[in-house]
Structure 1
Amino acid sequence: MTELPILCLAGPTASGKSATTHTLAQHWPIEIIVMDSATIYRGMDIGTAKPSAQEQAAIPHHLLDIRDPAERYSAAQFAADAQALIQDIRTRGHLPLLCGGTMLYYKALREGLNELPGADQSIRDQLDEHARQEGWPAVHARLALVDPDTAARLAPNDSQRIQRALEIYLSSGRPMSAWLQEQRPAQNDGLRYITLSLEPSDRLQLHGRIAQRYRSMLEQGLLDEVRRLYARGDLHAGLPSVRCVGYRQIWDYLDGAISLENAIDQAIAATRQLAKRQLTWLRSEPGRHHVDCLASDAPQQIVDIVQRYWPRP
């Protein structure tokens, strides 16, 4: 058991990861370590496509509902939690399966992270105010003046990453790109990782899936879910939970900044951009096994690949 590699099932949003894990569970005693920066939050179920209670009863899922939306959770915390879970799952004679689309979490687990400056709420508040007055593209332009390398790889509306990059510069006096050039701490967990990637052969078909899924979420009550978060009074647009794709656009609608129709259109567009970033990251993964997520037999193809590394019991 200890010699078997750790498998990671990754893919962009709406690529069919949940259906594939269900198929894998029919062949192996798996436990899923969820690799997702949105499903960690309690009370955020519909918009994150969180596994249902029935699905969680059928297959053990870890790292769901571990934070209140007012709290934060870092990639470094994920790496520590995942390493501990891998060992616990193996002691039960089960197979740990990383599954999700937050590729920074995966990178942190395998490679470690640079020691970046910590969060500074006062700086974040200042940047949020700047964005409220002038928009995130203006904040992005400010970043380009002090850290052009980082700004070049970020979209002008990628608020969370733009804010973090400027926060690092303003708190340390050094651009984020300079920090990232330093050597990461080595990971010595002794584990071998295999990446299984669900990728679309037709990007437009994936876009159609994304739009259909988001509108289905609205039918399931996403608007009321965000309203409950909004009504708490202790959450704000600067929090990672509120910035989750599909939530921050509805939040803007509740703030009166945009119409509901515009919020829906922007949420779908932002989800498509997220999928694009996820695919870019995945395609840079050396040695990944990729399967067309649009193929009707995609789950079975993944099973056939897994069989090479995890012989069936």
Structure 2
Amino acid sequence: MKKTVAILIAGPTASGKSALAHALAEQLSGIVINADSMQVYRELRILTARPSEAEAGAVTYRLYGHVPGDEAYSAARYADEVRIALAEARAAEKLPIVVGGTGLYFKALLEGLSPIPPIPAEIRTRWREAAVEQGAASLHAQLAARDPVMAARLRPSDPQRIVRALEVLEATGVSLAQWQEVPGEPVIQLDDALPLVVSPPREVLRQRIDARFDAMIEEGAIEEVRALAHLGLDPDLPLMRALGVRPLMDMLAGRVNATEAAEGAKAESRQYAKRQTTWLKSNMSAWKWQDTQDMQSLPRQLCDFIKA
């Protein structure tokens, strides 16, 4: 059997994929590499379900909690950093285990990103300031006038992607839609990896989501969000859209009670998990799907498969 150079584990939130990655890393002398767009941020360890201190002490983790929340982390930066993390794992003769639920990060890993030139800092800054001053809807209207094809692909309420489209258009004179048609360079070939999707039955996933949020509250998620609120970050930053932040912010501001906040956070997570599952079925149907009915034996089965 062809040697596995990496394990890729995708799945919806609360599916158990991180626990599987940790177990495999312990048994296969692996390094766990993040592919979750919220777990890169420093401020929310509990609410984004980053590895605990005990887990991080038992297994090597990369690309977790290394970005301050006042930055907008990008897929392009992820592609650069994951190349380095994979090279470090190979140099240490460790098996890379990439795990997360952000589809764009897996696409960057397996397909590469379009070779868009670096955007000059002054252009980037100007459009970000315009987003704050004018709002996303106004910028979307400007984009629609200059680049209707790209504007049609974006929601008027998505300032980060609208700003990206405008800055690319200004800096390069070419629509982001056209750049996206230029193939990138893959970081990993899918044929060299063991690609897994962890996908519990819907009702099991619903129960896991609810139980995990309750555990997060017990662990200190409210205090974590209170500290985040005190930072006064721009509400349009990616970190501020992390699951659970808005309901807990509303609770801290007295707009809802604790029960309403918990129900809102759980509903938010369930809706997100549904969208993730739909995306995974559309884009990763050829991967090996695991329903996690027997999570205790699954790591051993996979280890046996890899070592065969």
Identity %: 33
Q: Which residue of 1 aligns with 2:216?
A: 217
Q: How does 1:100-249 map to 2 (within 5 A)?
A: 100-114=100-114, 120-126=127-133, 128=135, 150=153, 162-168=158-164, 172=169, 178-179=177-178, 182-187=181-186, 192-201=192-201, 203-233=202-232, 235-249=233-247
Matches within 5 A, 1:55-134: 55-114=55-114, 120-126=127-133, 128=135
1:253 CA drift (Å): 3.9
Q: Which residue of 2 aligns with 1:266?
A: 264
Structure 2 vs 1, CA of residues 278 and 142 (structure 1 numbering), >3 Å: closer, same or farther? Answer: farther
For the residues of structure 2 that align with 1:115 and 1:262, how far apart are their CA atoms? 45
Correspondent of 1:300 among 297, 302, 306: 297
Query: CA distance change for structure 1 residues 288 and 207 in 2, over 3 Å: closer, same or farther?
Result: same
Shift of 1:178: 3.3
Shift, 1:175, TM fit = 11
SS at structure 1 position matched to 2:8:
strand
Partner deviation per Cα, 1:192-230 (whole Å, 9 max, x = no partner): 3331110123x1221122122112212222111111111
Q: Number of residues paired by the alignment?
A: 292
How many angstroms does 1:129 deviate by? 7.2
In 2, Cα distance between the equivalents of 1:141 and 1:215?
41
Shift of 1:74: 0.9
Q: Which residue of 1 aligns with 2:48?
A: 48
1:185 to 1:55, Cα distance in 2 relative to 1, 3 A: same
> Quick one: which amino acid aligns to residue 241 of structure 1?
L
Q: Secondary structure at the match of 1:14?
A: coil
TM-score (norm 1): 0.79
**Aligned match of 1:134:** none
Cα distance in 2 between the residues matched to 1:248 and 1:176? 33
Q: Which amino acid aligns with 1:298?
A: M
Contact 2:35 2:101 in 1 (8 A): yes
Out of 19-28 and 254-263, give the one that drifted further: 254-263
One-letter code aligned to 1:121: R
Choose between structure 1 and 2: higher helix proportion: 2
Q: 1:129 to 1:78 in 2, by over 3 A?
A: closer
1:268 to 1:179, Cα distance in 2 relative to 1, 3 A: farther
CA distance 1:90–1:42, shift in 2 (3 Å): same
Q: CA RMSD in A?
A: 3.3
Task: Give the residue type in structure 2 aligned to 1:207.
Answer: R
Structure 1 residues without counterparts, runs of 5 or longer: 132-138
**Structure 2 alignment gaps of length 5 or more:** none
Provide, for residues 234-262 of structure 1, a one-character-per-residue CA deviation record: whole Å limited to 9, x for no partner. Answer: x1211111111111332344455555544
Looking at structure 2, the residues matched to 212 and 143 of structure 1 have their Cα atoms a distance apart, in angstroms, of 43
Q: 2:307 aligns with which of 302, 307, 311?
A: 311
Aligned-partner Cα distance in 2 for 1:31–1:219? 29
SS at match of 2:266: helix
Question: What is the SS of the residue equivalent to 1:242?
Answer: helix
Q: Is the 8 A contact 1:46 1:222 kept in 2?
A: yes
SS at match of 2:239: coil
Q: Is the contact between residue 8 and residue 98 of structure 2 (CA under 8 Å) also seen in structure 1? A: yes
Q: Does 1:288 align with 2:291?
A: no
